[in-house]
Structure 1
Amino acid sequence: MTNFSRIKRQYHFILLQKLIVASVLIGFLSAFLGISLKHITEHYETIFFSKAAHHWLYIICFPVFGLSVIYFLRHYLFKKKSNKGIKEIFDVAQSKTKNLPLYKIPSHFFNGLLTVAFGGSTGIEVSTVVATAAIGNVAQQKEKRFKKYKSELICAGITAGITVLFSSPVAGILFSMEVISRKKNRIFFLTNGIALLVATALLLFMDEKPLFPISITTWHVYAIPYFIVLGILAGLNSVYLTKSVLFFKTMFGKIDKHYHKIIIGGGILSLCLLMLPQLYGDGYHAVRGIFTETNPVATLTSLLPLIGILLLKPIATSTTLAAGGDGGVFAPSLVIGAFLGLLVATLLNTYLKANVIPINFMVMGMAAVLSASIHAPFTALFLVCGMINNYSLFFPILMVCLIAQYTSKMIFPFTVYTYSKTA
C-alpha cells in the first residue's frame, strides 16, 4: 500500500468517525427536542382547552392572543423572518450555499407550542421537522468536510424527530426518504440509522406510550370493497385540505397589514371553534373521544358533527397557517381521516348493514388522508401503526393509502409542500 493510499484510507476513517459522532449528537438533540415539544404542548393545550371549554370568551381570545404573540416573537426576536416550513428544507437540502439558521430551532419550538396551545387548528409535527432539520444543518456547518453530506445530516435530525413524535422508528426514516431526501446512499443510511437508534433508545428510556392506545384484533375480507371506497373518499378530502391551505394563504397574502391577518384569521378560527370545539389545537383529544365509539348509529345529531369537522377542519387549519401560525397538515390529516372513517363506517352499518368495524375504519382513514396529503403512503402506514402500536391492519392500511394517494394525484398532483405558483 502506497503512502497516498494509506493517507486516503486514514482520512476516510477519520471522516467516518466524525460522521458517527455527529449522527449520535444530532439524533439525541433532535429526539430530545421532539419529545420535549410534544409533552410541553400537550400539557398546555390540555390546560387552555379545559378553560376554553367552560367559557366561550376564552375561545374568542385565545387564537388572536396566540397569533399576536407569535407575530411579536418573529418581528422582534427572530429577525422578522417568516417560517416557510418544509419548503425551506427542500431549498436548503438542494442548495450548496443556503442554510437553515440557528434561530430556526427556538423559533419553530416556541411558535409551534404557542400555535397549538392557544387553539391553532394544526399540529407541532412540521415545527418539529424544521427545528430538527436545523439541528442537522448546524452540525454540517461546524465541520467543513460535512458539507457534501448536508442533506444526509438534515434528514438524520428529521428522522429522530418524527420517530419520537409518533413512536415509530420506521416512519421516521421513511418520511426522510419519501418526502425530504433526494439521494439515498450509504452515508444516508449510516447517519439516519444511527439517529434512529438513538431516538428509539430515548423512547424506550422515557417509556413512551402510544399516542392512541387502542385494541385492534381483526379485519374481514368482505370489507375490502368498502376499504376502496374509504381510500377514494380520503383522496378527495386530502385535495380539499390542500386546496384550502393554498387558497387561504393566497388570499391572506394580499392583506398588507399583519394585524389585519391576525384579526381576520383569529376571528374565522374562533368562529369554527365555537361551532365545533373538537377543532381546538391538534385535535388528538377529539380523536381519542371517537375511538370509544363501538357501534354508532346514523342520526342527524351524530352525523352533523362528523360532517362539520370534515368541512371546517381544513378551513380552521388554513386560517391558522395563513394568519401566521406555525404548523402543517400532519395533524389535520390524521384528525380528518379519523372522523371520515367513523362517518363511512356509521353510514355503512346503518344503511347497508355492512357490519364493518368502526375503529378499523378510523385508523385506516387517518393513514389514508395523511398518505394523500403528503404523497407518502409508506410513511403514513408505519406512522399510524406506530401511533396505535398495532400492525394488525397493515395490509388494509397499505391498500387505502395507495388508493388515496392515487386518487389525490389524479385530481391535484401537488401537496402543500411541493406546490408553487409557477407549477
Structure 2
Amino acid sequence: MHFTKIRSRYHFHLFQKLVLASLLIGFLSTFLSLALKHITEKYESILFFKASTNWIYFLLFPILGLSVIYLLRHYLFQKKANKGITEIFEAIQSKSKQLPLYKIPSHFINGIVTVIFGGSTGIEVSTVVATAAIGNTTSKKDKLLSNYKTELICAGITAGITVLFSSPIAGILFSMEVITKKRNWVFFLTNGIALLTSLGLLLFVDEKPLFAITITTWHVHAIPYFILLGILAGLNSVYLTKMVLFFKLQFGKIPFHYHRILLGATILTICLLLLPQLYGEGYSAVKGLFSQANSSITLLSIATLVGVILLKPVITSATLAAGGDGGVFAPSLVIGAFLGFFVATIINHSFHANVIPMNFVVIGMAAVLSASIQAPFTALFLVCGMIHNYTLFFPLLMVCLIAKQTSKMIFPFTVYNYNASLK
C-alpha cells in the first residue's frame, strides 16, 4: 500500500512537470516561430523590392548574406556549422548528444539572414531546429524531464510547424512521420499541450493563412492528370534531393570556406538575374501564380515555369552548400506550385482538358513536399492549413501517396536521412 502511494505520487509529480514544461515549450516556440516568420517576410519583401529596382543588389545581397552567416558562425556560434534536421536526429538517437542553447539564436538569426538576402531556401528548418532546441533545453532543467528528451523536442517542433503553416495537425504529424517513431502517452500529452498552446496563441493574434485563396470544387475527369502530376512530383523531388546532396559533396571538397561563399554567391546571382522569382523563400512568386490562374499562355510564361522548376533545386543547393541556413521545405512547395501550374497550363492548352489551374498549384505543392520529406500526411494537412481549405482533401491524399511512392522507387532517401542511412 505504501509503495502504491509513492508510485502514484511520483506519476502525479511527473505529470505536473510534463504539463508545465509542455506549456512553456509551446509558448516559447510559438513566439519564436511568429517572430521568425514575420521578421523574415517583412525584410525579404523590402530587400527584394530594392533588388528588383536595381540589379546590382542581386550581385551584392547573396555574398553579403553568406559572409554575414560565416562571420557569425566563426565569431559568435562556436565555429560550428548548422546541420539542420540531422542535428535533431543525432540528439534523439543518443542520450549524450544535445541541442545546445546557442542553436536557438544561431538558427533564428542565420535563417533570417539567409532568406532576406536572397538565399533560395526557407525558414522552416531553422524554425524546427530552434524550437527543438527549446524542448531539449527544457528537458535538461530537471532530472525527471531528462528521461523524456525526445518527446519534449517533438513538442517544440509541433508548436513551430503549427505556427508556420497554421496547421496543428501538420505540426504533430511532422513530429510523428519525420522526427521520431516514438508513440507513448508522454508524447501525446506533451505534443498535445504544445499544439493547443500554439493554436490558442495563433487564434489570439489572429494569424492569417499564408495563401488567401478560395477553392470550391474539383472535377473527376482531372484524376488522370492528378496521377500524372503525382508521378512528375516524385521525379522532381528526387532531382531536388540529388542536387542538394551533389552540391554538398562538391562544395565539401573546396578547402577554403570563403571560396565556397564566392562560388555559392556567384551561382545565386546568376540564377536571380535570370529569374528573380527564385529570390528567398519564393512564396510571393507562388502568390503570383494564383493571380495568373486565368491569364493567357505565352512562350515567356512557359519558359519562366520551366526555369523555376529546373533552377530552384540548383539555387537552393548552392545556398545550403555555401553555408546558408535552411532545408527543402519551402523549395519543395515552390517547385510543386510551379510544376502544378505548368502541367495544368500544358494540358489545358494542348488537350483542352479544362482543369482548374489553381487546384493543380495546390496539389503540386503538397505532392513535391510529400515526396521530398517522405511524409504524405504531413504534406497534405500542411498545405490545407496554408490555404485554410480542405476541398481538395481526397485528390491531395491520392497525389501525395503517388508522389512519395514514385520518389521512393527511384531514390529511397531524403536529404534528412541520407547520411544517417549510410552509417
- TM-score bucket of the superposed structures, by smaller chain: over 0.9
Question: Does the CA-based 8 Å contact 1:293-1:358 persist in structure 2?
Answer: no
Structure 1 residue 70 corresponds to structure 2 residue 45? no
Question: Does the CA-based 8 Å contact 1:297-1:350 persist in structure 2?
Answer: no
Further displaced range: 139-148 or 210-219: 139-148
Letter in 1 for 2:82: N
For residues 253 and 333 of structure 1, the distance between their equivalents in structure 2, rounded to whole angstroms, comes to 24
Structure 2: gaps spanning 5 or more residues = none
Structure 1 residue 92 corresponds to structure 2 residue 96? no
Q: Which residue of 2 aligns with 1:118?
A: 117
Query: Deviation of residue 296 (structure 1)?
Result: 4.1
Deviations 1:154-192 (A, max 9, x none): 000000000000000000000000000121111000000
For residues 292 and 108 of structure 2, the distance between their equivalents in structure 1, rounded to whole angstroms, comes to 34
- Indicate the SS of the match to 2:291: coil
Deviations 1:367-420 (A, max 9, x none): 000000000000000000000000000000001100000000000000000002
Question: Does the CA-based 8 Å contact 1:51-1:58 persist in structure 2?
Answer: yes
Query: Deviation of residue 94 (structure 1)?
Result: 1.3
For residues 120 and 293 of structure 1, the distance between their equivalents in structure 2, rounded to whole angstroms, comes to 25
Runs of 4+ off more than 4 Å:
none
Q: Which residue of 2 aligns with 1:399?
A: 398
Q: Which residue of 2 aligns with 1:202?
A: 201
- Indicate the SS of the match to 1:144: coil
Deviations 1:58-97 (A, max 9, x none): 0110010000000000000000011110011011011111
- Indicate the SS of the match to 2:212: coil
Aligned residue runs from structure 1 range 241-256, under 5 A: 241-256=240-255
Question: Does the CA-based 8 Å contact 1:63-1:120 persist in structure 2?
Answer: yes
Q: Which residue of 1 aligns with 2:145?
A: 146
- Indicate the SS of the match to 1:405: helix
Q: Which residue of 1 aligns with 2:31?
A: 32
Deviations 1:18-57 (A, max 9, x none): 1000000000000110011000000100000000000111
Q: Which residue of 2 aligns with 1:172?
A: 171
Letter in 2 for 1:192: N
User: Taking every aligned residue pair, what percent have the same amino acid on both sides?
Assistant: 71
Query: Deviation of residue 8 (structure 1)?
Result: 1.2
Query: Deviation of residue 298 (structure 1)?
Result: 3.8
Q: Which residue of 2 aligns with 1:135?
A: 134
Q: Which residue of 2 aligns with 1:348?
A: 347
For residues 422 and 82 of structure 1, the distance between their equivalents in structure 2, rounded to whole angstroms, comes to 21
Query: Deviation of residue 107 (structure 1)?
Result: 0.1
Question: Does the CA-based 8 Å contact 1:174-1:379 persist in structure 2?
Answer: yes
For residues 104 and 238 of structure 1, the distance between their equivalents in structure 2, rounded to whole angstroms, comes to 28
Aligned residue runs from structure 1 range 377-396, under 5 A: 377-396=376-395
Deviations 1:319-371 (A, max 9, x none): 00000000000000000000000000000000000000000000000000000
CA-based RMSD = 0.8
Aligned length: 422
Query: Deviation of residue 297 (structure 1)?
Result: 4.1
Question: Does the CA-based 8 Å contact 2:115-2:121 persist in structure 1?
Answer: yes
Q: Which residue of 2 aligns with 1:43?
A: 42
Letter in 2 for 1:194: I
Query: Deviation of residue 5 (structure 1)?
Result: 1.1
For residues 304 and 96 of structure 1, the distance between their equivalents in structure 2, rounded to whole angstroms, comes to 51
For residues 344 and 140 of structure 1, the distance between their equivalents in structure 2, rounded to whole angstroms, comes to 47
Structure 1: gaps spanning 5 or more residues = none
- Indicate the SS of the match to 2:418: coil
For residues 111 and 253 of structure 1, the distance between their equivalents in structure 2, rounded to whole angstroms, comes to 20
Question: Does the CA-based 8 Å contact 1:223-1:356 persist in structure 2?
Answer: yes
Structure 1 residue 263 corresponds to structure 2 residue 262? yes
- Indicate the SS of the match to 2:214: coil
For residues 405 and 328 of structure 1, the distance between their equivalents in structure 2, rounded to whole angstroms, comes to 18
Tell me the TM-score normalized by structure 2. 0.99
For residues 392 and 360 of structure 1, the distance between their equivalents in structure 2, rounded to whole angstroms, comes to 10
